[in-house]
Amino acid sequence: MNTIKTILLGAALAVAMVLPAGASTLENPNGYNFFAGVGKNQGNTNSFYVAGNYTLSNSTPILRYANVTSDTGVLQFYSLTNMTSIVNPTNSGTTNLIVVSTNNYSAGQVVVIKHIATDTYECLPLQTVANTNQLTLGNAPLSQCATGDQIWVAGATGSISAVGTNLTITQSGEFLYAGQYKTPLLITVTGTAKVGLNCVAGAYQ
């Protein structure tokens, strides 16, 4: 399986790099103009990937390619809104976070945490909202949060049917999906017993 994912990632990188202004973080540590990667599985029913907003051009994430595995699911896209920042970080294993504001946050939402120092992301359920500055997550973050890390509310905005094993989905028009300007794009695939976001690739334009 790892060999297959390596091959897929290589193919996806090739797709991404033929797009305009491809540049890696090695070429410019201040950002990049394309993205490609493997999703993070959450059990057997959900896998996610976030195309971040750490880019050279501060532009829009454009998805061009995806390879997925799912027995019953869809490839789902989410817009991220209502960004707030963590002001009182907690260690991994703690679900309570103190933030600048909880405006437009409510129990049952899906939230995305951006770890600023590493430009990495986590996708977690929001369990409760207390007062005007406390969020309680349904699961503890896998990485320790730090002051200034960002939290976003995820709202579903589009989907593509994705039932199969190592199913390749490529653009039929200009792109598979266009995210929001200067905003991370959350991509998930769901299933009932078998799921994998094997590879995604795109560019910032």
Hey, what domains does the chain have and what are their CATH numbers?
2-73+162-204 (no CATH), 80-154 (2.40.10)
CB 186 within 8 A of CB 77: yes
pLDDT surpassing 80 at residue 5: no
The string of DSSP codes covering 113-168 is EEETTTTEEEEEEEEEEETTTEEEESS--SS---TT-EEEEEEEEEEEE--EEEEE
pLDDT surpassing 90 at residue 174: no
Burial of 53 (0-12, 13-18, 19+ CB in 10 A): buried
pLDDT digits 0-9 by tens, 115-166: 988 888 999 999 999 989 999 999 888 888 999 999 999 999 999 999 999 9
pTM for this entry: 0.82
Task: Read off the pLDDT band of 202 (50, 70, 90).
Answer: very high
User: Coil, strand or helix: which one is 69?
Assistant: strand
9 or 23, greater pLDDT: 9
CB 121 within 8 A of CB 40: no
pLDDT surpassing 80 at residue 190: yes
pLDDT digits 0-9 by tens, 16-50: 444 433 434 444 455 568 889 999 988 788 999 99
Per-residue pLDDT averaged across 175-199, rounded? 91
